Chain A
Amino acid sequence: MIKLKQVSKVYPTGVKALQGLNLEVQAGEFVFLVGPSGAGKSTLMKLLYRAEEPSSGQVLVGGVDITRLSPAQLPGLRQRIGVVFQDYKLLPQRTVFENVAFALKVLGVSRVEMQKRVRSALDLVGLRDSADCLPHQLSGGQQQRVSLARAIVNTPPLLIADEPTGNLDPETSWEIMRLLTKINMHGTTVVVATHNKLVVDNMRRRVVTIDHGRLVLDQARGVYSVGVN
């Protein structure tokens, strides 16, 4: 599903975010990306949906070298990737339903189809009854679940979550992780960048550790080992 070959990223400021990084993720995997702040996790995530371009190396998503996509091909890539952020990125003046439907409206999905898919996405994240609420009427965990529903409503084969529990308390963080696991069980490849040691240690999933822009550890059923070794 994902293949990074000798990927380096140097920002115009001179910061070396990634250095010669190699990584492979199979379809259907669940991967944690851990590492200290500034290690290059977010940069790596951004490369996957091409919010950033690498300075050198190849980024393959679904077998396609996305560094070679033209601007016209970019929407096609993004439609196949769901993205979740730490700050939810919901539209404050729109209801929960409208926020989730937004992703489908952009694609010109029919009203009936849209209703059906938004409902089932909201069902999955357990927010069916909050469809008519505005984001500010919801808790942080609920808002993150809306953002999750929006990311999966178009049933993408790949879901990327950048610090999805960064603003949430431990209990709510667990809820979100359970949801991500559920989505993964439906066949979606999930990549989660996180600082949350508690979650990583208890989930026993593949853990990729990055430090100073390099891959330092790749464990099949790993734990959060930053600062440990």
Chain B
Amino acid sequence: MESIKRYWRQIGFIGEEALASITRSGWMSWVVVMTMAVSLTILGGFWLLSDDLYGLARSVGSKVEIMVFTKDSANVSKMANDIQAMDGVREVSIIPKDEAWASLQKEMKGRVRFDALLENPLPDTVRVKVLDADDTPEVAAAIAEMEGVEDLNWGQSLHAKIQQIATFTRLIGILVTGLLMAATFAVIGNTIRLAVQSRRKEIEIMQMVGAGEAFIHSPFLLEGMIFGVAGALLTGGALAGWRTFIITKLQELFPFVILNSSPMVVVQMLGYLVAIGVGIGALASWVSVRRHLRRQNT
């Protein structure tokens, strides 16, 4: 029982030390929090932008349909059922050749004389929409294997281009996000190292009076985590504004695409940023204190 109490008192001490250090450092704490906020805003802003671009590319991609032209001998409704049963297929509809013929005649009225044709030259067509634009090539290939398929058309070149854009955006997004994280880590690490430097006397005395290494780390770790949370929360407002700006711009450019403009995206992003902030803060503190202790011991 006593040992549990002792444990709690030590945790209390760690909390006290962390808070006392933050208030005592004054402007230094502000520098860390602001640096954290700026880094996380850039990080989150870029992340949101690349995410939205990716989403845009995909939603354009999902507009691509597969048009399956059937042979005259084919059992179209069975074929439609078979396609519907395939993985990744969202919607299947049949355009009977008479309907297609009628609409073609209507479209081309006056420009082409259809009288010369005795018979409807068009095949029955099955129109397929996929769930995920990425799957289009596979679905198309599978359909091509089916019996009764004369030919199919799914906008291969458009699809390839959109996929390229989406992949590129994602790649650049991951790359820049990674670089920004590393930069954030370096900046926070250095700032916290200054804080550790300014408290080397405390560390020395803690060691002298018999505090364990984990115990010495803890207040700094907690301090770093508090900086992380504070920094991330400060970025919230900025990101909400930035996100509205991106979405509005993208929507203006691509009015036919429906983008996910829900504020939940920002809330979710904020969750990630708090986690990243806390992680970076704690890790940077840990590395700084550890390096300090190692240097002292050698």
- What's the tally of chain B residues with a CB closer than 8 Å to chain A? 21
**Quick one: which of B13, B202, B208 contacts A78, CB cutoff 8 A?**
B208
Q: Is the interface of B mostly helix, strand, loop or mixed?
A: helix
Question: Given contacts A89-B204, A91-B201, is CB(A106)–CB(B7) below 8 Å?
Answer: no
- 29 A-B pairs with CB atoms under 8 Å apart are A49-B208, A71-B213, A74-B212, A75-B210, A75-B212, A75-B215, A77-B210, A78-B208, A78-B209, A79-B209, A80-B210, A89-B204, A89-B208, A91-B205, A93-B24, A102-B206, A102-B209, A106-B10, A106-B13, A106-B209, A106-B211, A107-B10, A107-B210, A108-B5, A108-B10, A108-B13, A109-B6, A150-B209, A154-B209
- Give Cα distance in the complex from A10 to B128, angstroms: 82
Question: Contacts A80-B210, A110-B9 given; 5 further ones with Cβ under 8 A?
Answer: A78-B209, A79-B209, A83-B208, A108-B6, A108-B9
Residues of A in contact with B (beta carbons under 8 Å apart): 49, 71-72, 74-80, 83, 89, 91, 93, 102-103, 105-110, 150, 154
Query: How near does chain B come to A144, taking the closest CB pair, in angstroms?
Result: 15
Any chain A CB within 8 A of the CB of B261? no
Contacts of A150 in B (CB 8 A): 209
- Give Cα distance in the complex from A183 to B190, angstroms: 44
Residue of A nearest to B215 (CB): A106
Query: How near does chain A come to B195, taking the closest CB pair, in angstroms?
Result: 14
Any chain A CB within 8 A of the CB of B207? yes
Contacts of B215 in A (CB 8 A): 75, 106
- Give Cα distance in the complex from A75 to B10, angstroms: 15
Residues of B in contact with A (beta carbons under 8 Å apart): 5-10, 13, 24, 201-202, 204-213, 215
- Give Cα distance in the complex from A74 to B293, angstroms: 14
Contacts of A76 in B (CB 8 A): 210
7 smallest beta-carbon distances between A and B, as pairs: A79-B210, A78-B210, A108-B6, A103-B209, A108-B10, A108-B9, A75-B210
**Quick one: which of A71, A105, A107, A110 contacts B5, CB cutoff 8 A?**
A110
**Quick one: which of B6, B202, B212, B213 contacts A91, CB cutoff 8 A?**
B202
Contacts of B211 in A (CB 8 A): 75, 106
Question: Given contacts A108-B10, A108-B13, A110-B9, is CB(A89)–CB(B205) below 8 Å?
Answer: yes
Asked if A105 contacts B212 (CB within 8 A), the reply is no
Asked if B207 contacts A78 (CB within 8 A), the reply is yes
